[in-house]
């Protein structure tokens, strides 16, 4: 694939997907933006929630119609791509969507939501294009405009104190430092023009002592400024990271299921550039602007002509940075995203190393990671290439300006126009300060503008809706008896997806033991999430002790139930920590009781460190059965009124399972289990079968199963 050249500008602005399966939504956003509807992916996602399982073509057609675009799906051979109304959406690699901007000279300009824009030869396109395209034209009721929800900087540092005072201190100390910078060239001028011609050592000594004391003051100010910057930067960085992390930890479970871990981490790391710019960039912008004005005034006092030349060079530099900004921003975004994908692949590889070793797929996985690393490195190279162009332009502009300035300044001295040698030295020093500060001011302005990229990435965290359980009143605590009911519950992953649950009705009485079985993919795990209040039904009600779950209180409900799910994991720490789930005050008596009920106490007793034994990364030091029993002990430690298990005893042998069932049965709590094993199902008081989104009573009684 051939990347777009540095100076190539396409008319379609690339929109990169955030969630795993929203390439269709991102492609739709690109076409909508092209036609004048300036809408970001986050806003589009909040209006039309995508499915984790992807969007079929009919879903895209429906979404396009809702935003005022007239869709037309066509099936065509590769050679007819040039006849499509562009930009249009192409079906790609059987499970992906891209945007075609145009076909020219046997090359197609493809915008890939999963990567970047490329001019792709048609023979390469043929390897990916499935023959299906979606043309999109604005309808009569299509409305353009700007529909973007932006994250504001002020939303990130709420409840932070002392920031304004710290910035004021930094500003004052920086001004002291700059006063030294302004005075230093004058020392050179007086020494050359006055002390040297007169051979006046006394004057030279006075100047040296005076500026030496000034240097000591400057050093002290620099020391204090460094400490203030350290404290302010650390405080602001901690506050920003804490606020963003708090929001991240309160997002719905399905938010994390739709994103790669590496992408989430890369978004979170956008806090760093924001913190740096707020503590140092803001002060630098003020000081650099002030110093540029002061030094420019001094330069005009020395020579208006020379000062005008410096201004022209500064303006040319500003134009170069402004022209290259959009390219730099795109390259920066690509670098961050590609780096996140490489990190996601590496994390997945490390997590699955046992599987890779067993199947001998280390080489193939290394090749996959290397491909991601190549993409990340190429993105970094593209960003560095832009920096090289900027640096070259900078050196050329200011190099020519310096040559012309020296020529004119020395000619003024030769002509005897009142311009002394000392003045040449002083002017060149002030000019160097002006060029440095004005260029730094432009760079800071560009950096502040670049914060928009980091704010956009953080907005996926900060502007996403919190899990509805955090909307509960903190002082509401309703005692749970243990009865739970579903009434006419319908559920689907996204509005365009088929129903997963269709009119499910279920009543589980207090203390009852119900087993739910059925074929895989029938909706059992989704049913569990509904029962636990992790997802919300499309229609119908979840009742707890006769009250709708939202009235009972999600927090209150969650504090009195427990679950063992298929995707549960242990955390780095001791066995006691994991059973108590890092409770602030671990009750060891409850820990031992929960472990005994889960039939893991004897195993722990045989370990060298017993309950202080470290479990390793995600429980890597334990067997599958031991890990599952520790997870069960963690659930029982909560002393729940309702216990839900999704294949929670699948790794246990019959003896351990029997012991666990007897111990839990003696507690008299409500139990709902998802199971396939005969022994597990037989222990239940009532058996239900989930199939094709419907819940039915089992044909056989438990004794006959």
Q: Which residues contact 318 (CB under 8 A, 6 or more apart)?
A: 442
Question: What is the arithmetic mean of pLDDT over 604-626?
Answer: 78
14: three-class secondary structure by DSSP: coil
Q: What is the pLDDT of residue 699?
A: 60
Give the mean pLDDT of 341-356. 83
Evaluate if residue 538 carries a pLDDT over 50: yes
- What does the block give as tokens for 285? 């912008």
Q: Look up residue 633 and give its DSSP letter.
A: H
Using only C-alpha atoms, the chain has a radius of gyration, in whole angstroms, of 34
364-394 confidence digits (pLDDT tens):
889 988 988 888 898 889 889 988 988 898 8
- DSSP-assigned letter for residue 131: E
Higher pLDDT, 234 or 121: 121
Helix, strand, coil abundance in the chain, percent, nearest 5:
55, 15, 30
Tell me which of 506 and 649 has the higher pLDDT: 506
Q: Is the pLDDT of residue 657 over 80?
A: no
Mean pLDDT confidence for 613-626? 73
- Contact partners, residue 671, CB within 8 Å, separation at least 6: 512, 513, 514, 642, 643, 644, 645, 664
Nearest Cα neighbor of 123 from 86, 80, 77, 78 is: 78
What SS3 string covers 158-207?
CCCCCHHHHHHHHHHHHHHHHHHHHHHHHHHHHHHHHHHHHCCHHHHHHH
**CATH number, domain 484-697, options 1.25.40.80, 3.40.50.620, 3.40.50.150, 3.40.50.300:** 3.40.50.300
| Across 46-50, 184-188, 502-506, 603-607, least confident range | 184-188
CA atoms within 13 A on the CB side of 631: 28
Number of Cα atoms under 13 Å in the Cβ half of residue 43: 16
Confidence at 192, pLDDT banded by 50, 70, 90 = low
Q: How many CA atoms lie within 13 A of 585 on its CB side?
A: 0
Listed in order, the ranges of the chain carrying CATH 3.90.70.10 are 22-146
Residue 5: band (very low, low, confident or very high) from pLDDT cuts 50, 70, 90: very low
| Residues making up the chain, counted from first to last | 705
State how far the Cα of 578 lies from the Cα of 612, in Å rounded to an integer. 10
Instruction: Please tell me the predicted confidence (pLDDT) of residue 99.
Output: 92
CB 181 within 8 A of CB 436: no
Give every CB contact of residue 538 below 8 A, 6+ residues apart in sequence.
Answer: 490, 491, 492, 499
Which tens digits make up the pLDDT trace of 424-434?
A: 777 787 787 78
Total-model pTM: 0.72
Closest CA to 516 of 704, 703, 671: 671
In degrees and rounded to multiples of 5, residue 674 shows phi and psi of -105, 125
Residues labelled as active-site residues = 23
The answer on pLDDT for 170 being more than 70 is no
Q: What is the mean pLDDT of residues 575-599?
A: 86
In this structure, whether the domain defined by 22-146 belongs to CATH 3.10.129.10 is answered with no
Whether pLDDT at 63 is above 60: yes
CA atoms of 308 and 289, how far apart (whole Å):
17
Residue written as token pair 């249009």: 88
Task: At 542, give phi and psi (nearest 5°).
Answer: -110, 120
Q: DSSP secondary-structure letter at 9?
A: -
Contact 580, 636 (CB under 8 A): no
Q: Report the SS3 class of residue 19.
A: coil
- Angle subtended at Cα 413 by Cα 412 and Cα 414, rounded to the nearest 5 degrees: 95
Q: How far is CA 555 from CA 224, 401, 560, 563, in A?
A: 48, 68, 9, 15
Q: What is the pLDDT of residue 151?
A: 73
Of 54-63, 390-399, 509-518, which gets the smallest average pLDDT?
Answer: 54-63
Q: Using CA atoms of 531, 533, 538, 541 in order, give the dihedral in degrees to the nearest 10.
A: 60
Residues of the chain with CATH 3.40.50.300: 484-697
Q: What's the rounded mean pLDDT across residues 551-577?
A: 85
Confidence of residue 501 (pLDDT cuts 50, 70, 90): confident
Burial of 212 (0-12, 13-18, 19+ CB in 10 A): exposed
pLDDT, averaged across the chain: 80
CA 209, distance to chain mean position in Å, is 55
Res. 4: pLDDT tops 50: no
Provide mean pLDDT across the span 185-204: 66
Domain with CATH 1.20.1560.10 in the chain: 161-463
- Taking the C-alpha atoms of residue 79 and residue 77, their distance in angstroms, rounded to an integer, is 6
Query: Has residue 703 got a pLDDT over 50?
Result: no
List 3's β-bridge partners, or say none. Answer: 118
* Residue 600, SS3 per DSSP: coil
Task: Work out the percent of the chain whose per-residue pLDDT is above 70.
Answer: 82
- Give the rounded distance of the alpha carbon of 169 from its chain centre: 33
CATH of domain 161-463: 1.20.1560.10
Whether 260 has a pLDDT exceeding 80, the answer reads: no
- Residue 56: pLDDT over 80: no
Q: What is the pLDDT of residue 2?
A: 36
Q: How far apart are the first and last CA of the chain?
A: 60
Phi, psi of 53 (to 5 degrees): -90, 5
Q: State the Cα–Cα distance between residues 104 and 677, nearest whole angstrom.
A: 61
The CA distance from 107 to 121, in Å, is: 4
DSSP 80: G
């Amino acid at each position: 694939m051939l990347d777009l050249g540095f100076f190539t500008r396409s008319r379609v602005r690339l929109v990169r997907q955030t969630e795993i399966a929203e390439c269709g939504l991102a492609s739709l956003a690109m076409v909508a933006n092209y036609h004048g509807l300036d809408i970001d992916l986050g806003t589009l996602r909040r209006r039309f929630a995508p499915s984790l399982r992807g969007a079929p073509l009919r879903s895209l057609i429906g979404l396009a119609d809702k935003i005022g675009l007239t869709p037309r799906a066509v099936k065509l051979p590769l050679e007819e791509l040039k006849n499509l109304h562009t930009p249009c959406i192409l079906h790609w690699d059987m499970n992906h969507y891209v945007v075609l901007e145009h076909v020219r000279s046997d090359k197609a300009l493809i915008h890939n939501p999963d990567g970047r824009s490329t001019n792709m030869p048609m023979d390469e396109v043929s390897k990916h294009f499935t023959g299906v395209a979606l043309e999109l034209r604005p309808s009569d009721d299509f409305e353009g405009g700007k529909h973007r929800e932006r994250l504001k900087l002020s939303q990130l540092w709420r409840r932070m104190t002392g920031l304004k005072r710290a910035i004021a201190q930094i500003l004052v100390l920086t001004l002291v430092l700059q006063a030294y910078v302004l005075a230093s060239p004058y020392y050179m001028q007086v020494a050359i023009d006055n002390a040297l011609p007169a051979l006046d050592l006394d004057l030279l000594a006075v100047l040296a002592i005076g500026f030496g004391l000034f240097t000591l003051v400057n050093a002290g100010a620099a020391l204090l400024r460094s400490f203030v910057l350290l404290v302010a930067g650390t405080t602001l960085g901690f506050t920003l990271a804490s606020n963003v992390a708090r929001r991240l930890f309160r997002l719905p479970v399905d938010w994390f299921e739709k994103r790669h871990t590496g992408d989430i981490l890369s978004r979170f790391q956008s806090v760093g550039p924001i913190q740096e710019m707020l503590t140092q960039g803001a002060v630098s912008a003020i000081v650099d602007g002030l110093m540029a004005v002061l030094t420019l005034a001094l330069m005009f006092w020395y020579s208006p002509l020379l000062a005008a030349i410096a201004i022209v060079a500064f303006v040319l530099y500003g134009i170069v940075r402004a022209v290259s900004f959009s390219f730099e921003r795109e390259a920066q975004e690509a670098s961050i995203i590609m780096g996140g994908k490489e990190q996601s692949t590496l994390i997945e590889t490390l997590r699955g190393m046992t599987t890779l070793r067993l199947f001998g797929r280390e080489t193939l996985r290394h090749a996959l990671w290397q491909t991601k690393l190549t993409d990340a490195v190429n993105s970094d190279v593209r960003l560095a290439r832009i920096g090289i162009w900027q640096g070259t332009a900078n050196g050329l502009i200011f190099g020519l300006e310096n040559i012309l300035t020296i020529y004119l300044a020395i000619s003024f001295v030769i002509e005897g126009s009142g311009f002394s040698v000392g003045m040449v030295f002083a002017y060149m020093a002030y000019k160097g300060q002006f060029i440095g500060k004005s260029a730094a001011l432009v760079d800071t302005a560009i950096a502040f503008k670049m914060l928009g990229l980091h704010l956009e990435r953080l907005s996926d965290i900060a502007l996403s809706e919190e899990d509805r359980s955090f909307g509960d009143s903190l002082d509401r605590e309703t005692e749970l008896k243990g009865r739970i009911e579903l009434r006419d519950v319908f559920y689907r992953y996204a509005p365009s997806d088929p129903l997963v649950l269709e009119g499910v009705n279920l009543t589980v009485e207090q203390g009852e033991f119900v087993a739910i079985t059925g074929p895989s993919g029938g909706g059992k795990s989704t049913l569990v999430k509904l029962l636990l209040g992790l997802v919300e039904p499309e229609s119908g009600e979840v009742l707890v002790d006769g009250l709708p779950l939202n009235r009972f209180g999600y927090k209150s409900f969650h504090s009195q139930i427990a679950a063992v799910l298929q995707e549960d994991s242990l955390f780095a720490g001791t066995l006691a920590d994991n059973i108590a789930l890092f409770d602030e005050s671990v009750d060891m008596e409850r820990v031992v009781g929960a472990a005994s009920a889960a039939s893991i106490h004897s195993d722990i007793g045989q370990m060298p460190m017993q309950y202080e034994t470290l479990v390793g990364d995600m429980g890597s030091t334990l067997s599958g059965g031991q890990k599952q029993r520790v997870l069960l002990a963690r659930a029982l430690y909560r002393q729940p009124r309702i216990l839900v298990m999704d294949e929670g005893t699948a790794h246990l042998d019959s003896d351990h399972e029997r012991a666990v069932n007897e111990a839990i049965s003696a507690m008299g709590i409500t139990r709902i289990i998802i199971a396939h094993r005969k022994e597990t199902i037989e222990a239940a008081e009532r058996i239900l079968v989930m199939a094709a989104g419907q819940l039915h009573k089992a044909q056989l009684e438990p004794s006959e199963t």
